Amino acid sequence: MRTTHVSKWLLALMFFMFLVLAACGNGSGDAIYSIEDFSENASTEGEAIDGGTLNYGLVTDTTFEGTLNYNFYSGSFDNEIIKWFDESLLSVDKNHKYTQDGAATFEVSEDHRTFTFTIRDHVNWHDGEPVKAEDWAYAIEVIGHPDYDGPRYDSSFRNIEGMEEYHNGEVDSISGLEVVDAKTLKITYIEGTPSLLAGGIWPYALPKHIFEDIPVADMSASDAVRKNPIGFGPFKVEGIVPGESVSMTANEDYWQGPPKLDGVTVKVVNPQTIVQALKSGDVDTVDSFPTDQYADVETELTNVEFLGTVDMSYSYIGFKLGTWDKKAQEVKPNPDAKMADVNLRRAMWYAVDNEAVAKQFYNGLRWNANTLIPPSHPDYHDSSIEAPTYDPEKAKQILDEAGYLDTNNDGMRENPDGEELIINFASMSGGGDIAEPLTNYYIQAWKEVGLNVQLLDGRLIELNSFYDKIGQNGDDAPEVDMYQGAWSVATDVDPSSLYGRQAIFNFSRYASEENDRLLEEGTSEKAFDPEYRKKVYSEWQQLMVDKIPVFPTLYRSKLVPINKRVVNYSIGADFMGLHEVGVTQEKTFKAE
């Protein structure tokens, strides 16, 4: 009889748990948000107290690598730590273009090839040594060194005169690099392009007096990077617990003035507990907040303000129009590719309702995209370009006119030659619970207009295999006809690393002379004129909308919650006031 007793209790318990679980599932709000309603700057007003410690969370379920130097790091979380104690010598504006407000100023020569940089006085490393021109030159020499093991050596370095010879070990010094005096550095580039002004110059210095004695190959593993990193930023590293936290104190000698805060603690917070950590005031702010959780928790988190900005990325759908020619190291368009007809691609763009996707899946925190330059580059993004938006009738009409008709009455269109048309769609797993329904939605939408699109392999593909298949190594899988991906964009607007003829990341393998011309114009000397550059990239955006090698689907937002005790904080690209960030009270606010 006891057994029945127990089982009754068990049943009750299970029922209770079921209710709890069911309640959990109901949290999702239906509200629709817009990035326009978010500000980049914390709105808290009030007097900051003298001191206080800011708690900064890194939202990740992994650890951070701990390569704490701009010249060597590769993980984005390391970057989030370094930015508190070191900084770029050059400041940037909203378009990520260098300005004259940073720790160094610069002059450009007539031919746009020679840059002369002057480091301000009072810019000192944390150990009191002044930041010198030779420290800056040293950073460039180390990155260009054959033994360097970080990911930063790229075309912008190869553009420095004499760099290739130095990198190949033929000469001992870089001819384009000249230390004029203690505070002045002159760099000569092979080509003067406007890209130089938007991320094309290496703006980080490396303290030579510390790194001098370390062989280049051992630098990234050295204590000077991992245990006692220094910089010239507003805070100094005090202690590091590997993989989990870093504590910093104010650098009273900071060149923009002493920071208001006493210190900053950066620590890893698991994405599953981030909401709790914010609610209880355990962290003041985080590097970025999972936007898909926003709708569920927005009302609960009464103690924080959400800041928002346009993320430097977009989602897109790409069509395979060729292959990669490994010998020539360039794309090889195939005019007979299954997706070669632009009308077919255009119809597929008309067939999908990205506005609805944005609202249904992302509560409006992503939104319909029109061009391949996202609004995170406000000067270059052309919002006036009219790209196809959801219109299934139009899609059908285009397909009818292009000869894609249902000739065998199976409900699906055949190609103009009357052969069966099956389009293989590769899609990546990850991105939470949304990836699968989203992919299914797209396939369904294309079916509505009569196109037989099949999910490649019948399932979502894991990230590594996905990029192998669509050709990150140049081995494009022939079975892929189209794919769904996302790009984060560089600080420079120049899209040739993603769509150029020589770009291996040009996964659609599209190339045309007009495209080559525009991409070249965009980085030509003439394009130093901002109006001209704008015009070129508007034309390029229009070209991509006309030719559709890929079509953008959604732009994304980035949300950052911040405790209401924090003042003067901002997530804008041009923010350089970390030393002015303060708190209005010793303790964080907790949610009621």
Partner 1 sequence: MWKFIVRRLVITFPQLILLSVLIFLLAQAMPGDALTGLVDPNIDPATIDEQREKLGLNKPWYEKYIEWVGGVFQGDLGQSFRYKIPVTDLIEERIVNTFWLSVATLIFTYMIAVPLGMISGRYNDTILDSSITGYTYIGFATPLFIFALVMLWIFGYHLQWFPTGGSVAPELKPGTLEYVLSRIQHLLLPALSIALIQTVSTVQYLRSEIVDTKQKDFIITARAKGASESRVYNRHILRNSLLPIAAFFGYEITTLITGTIFIEQIFSFPGMGQLFIESVLQRDFSVVNAVVLLFGAAAIVGALLSDIILSIVDPRIRIK
Give residues in contact with partner 1 (CB under 8 A): 2, 6, 9-10, 13, 61-63, 65-67, 72, 74-75, 149-155, 199, 220-221, 226, 238-239, 241-247, 263, 265, 267-270, 272-273, 276-277, 279-280, 282, 462-465, 467-468, 472, 487-491, 497-498, 503-505
| CB proximity list for 232: less than 8 A, separation 6 or greater | 86, 87, 103, 123, 124, 125, 126, 131, 205, 251, 254, 255
Q: Closest distance between partner 1 and the C-beta of residue 415, in Å?
A: 32
Q: State how far the Cα of 33 lies from the Cα of 376, in Å rounded to an integer.
A: 18
Q: State how far the Cα of 154 lies from the Cα of 161, in Å rounded to an integer.
A: 14
| Cβ atoms of 270 and 164 closer than 8 Å | no
Amino acid at 580: E
Question: Is the Cβ of residue 503 or residue 527 nearer to partner 1 in the bound state?
Answer: 503
Question: Is the Cβ of residue 63 or residue 512 nearer to partner 1 in the bound state?
Answer: 63
Question: Is the Cβ of residue 389 or residue 472 nearer to partner 1 in the bound state?
Answer: 472
Question: Is the Cβ of residue 1 or residue 37 nearer to partner 1 in the bound state?
Answer: 1
Question: Is the Cβ of residue 183 or residue 279 nearer to partner 1 in the bound state?
Answer: 279
Q: State how far the Cα of 71 lies from the Cα of 224, in Å rounded to an integer.
A: 12
Q: 178 to each of 104, 137, 140, 142, 431, how far by Cα in Å?
A: 16, 8, 11, 15, 47
| CB proximity list for 577: less than 8 A, separation 6 or greater | 256, 568, 570
The tally of CA atoms less than 13 A away on the side-chain side of residue 277 is 20
Q: What angle do CA 22, 28, 31 make, to 5 degrees?
A: 150
Q: Closest distance between partner 1 and the C-beta of residue 463, in Å?
A: 7
Ramachandran sector of residue 282 (left: φ over 0; alpha: ψ -120 to 50; beta: rest):
alpha
Q: Closest distance between partner 1 and the C-beta of residue 205, in Å?
A: 20
Q: Of 205, 201, 250, 175, which Cα lies nearest the Cα of 98? A: 201
Q: Closest distance between partner 1 and the C-beta of residue 41, in Å?
A: 26
Question: Is the Cβ of residue 272 or residue 444 nearer to partner 1 in the bound state?
Answer: 272
Question: Is the Cβ of residue 173 or residue 473 nearer to partner 1 in the bound state?
Answer: 473
Q: Closest distance between partner 1 and the C-beta of residue 151, in Å?
A: 5
Residue 160 host element (H or E): none
Report helix, strand or coil for 468.
Answer: helix
Question: Is the Cβ of residue 75 or residue 530 nearer to partner 1 in the bound state?
Answer: 75
Q: Closest distance between partner 1 and the C-beta of residue 576, in Å?
A: 20
One-character DSSP codes across 102-143: SSEEEEE-TTS-EEEEEEPTT-B-TTSPBP-HHHHHHHHHHH
Query: Which residues are registered as beta bridge partners of 567?
Result: 582
Residue 435 host element (H or E): helix 435-448
Question: Is the Cβ of residue 502 or residue 512 nearer to partner 1 in the bound state?
Answer: 502
Q: Closest distance between partner 1 and the C-beta of residue 356, in Å?
A: 29
Q: State how far the Cα of 287 lies from the Cα of 264, in Å rounded to an integer.
A: 13
Pairing of strands 184-188, 114-119: antiparallel
Question: Is the Cβ of residue 155 or residue 175 nearer to partner 1 in the bound state?
Answer: 155
Question: Is the Cβ of residue 262 or residue 292 nearer to partner 1 in the bound state?
Answer: 262
Q: Closest distance between partner 1 and the C-beta of residue 34, in Å?
A: 27
Residue 21 host element (H or E): helix 2-25
Query: Which residues are registered as beta bridge partners of 134?
Result: none
Q: Closest distance between partner 1 and the C-beta of residue 433, in Å?
A: 17
Q: Closest distance between partner 1 and the C-beta of residue 248, in Å?
A: 9
Question: Is the Cβ of residue 414 or residue 492 nearer to partner 1 in the bound state?
Answer: 492
Question: Is the Cβ of residue 97 or residue 183 nearer to partner 1 in the bound state?
Answer: 97
Q: Measured between alpha carbons, how far apart are the two ends of the chain, in Å?
A: 47
Q: State how far the Cα of 399 lies from the Cα of 376, in Å rounded to an integer.
A: 34
Whole-number CA gyration radius for the chain? 27
Q: Closest distance between partner 1 and the C-beta of residue 244, in Å?
A: 4
Starting at the edge strand that comes first in sequence, how are the strands of the sheet with 184-188 ordered? 104-108, 114-119, 184-188, 177-181
Q: State how far the Cα of 518 lies from the Cα of 7, in Å rounded to an integer.
A: 74
Question: Is the Cβ of residue 152 or residue 396 nearer to partner 1 in the bound state?
Answer: 152
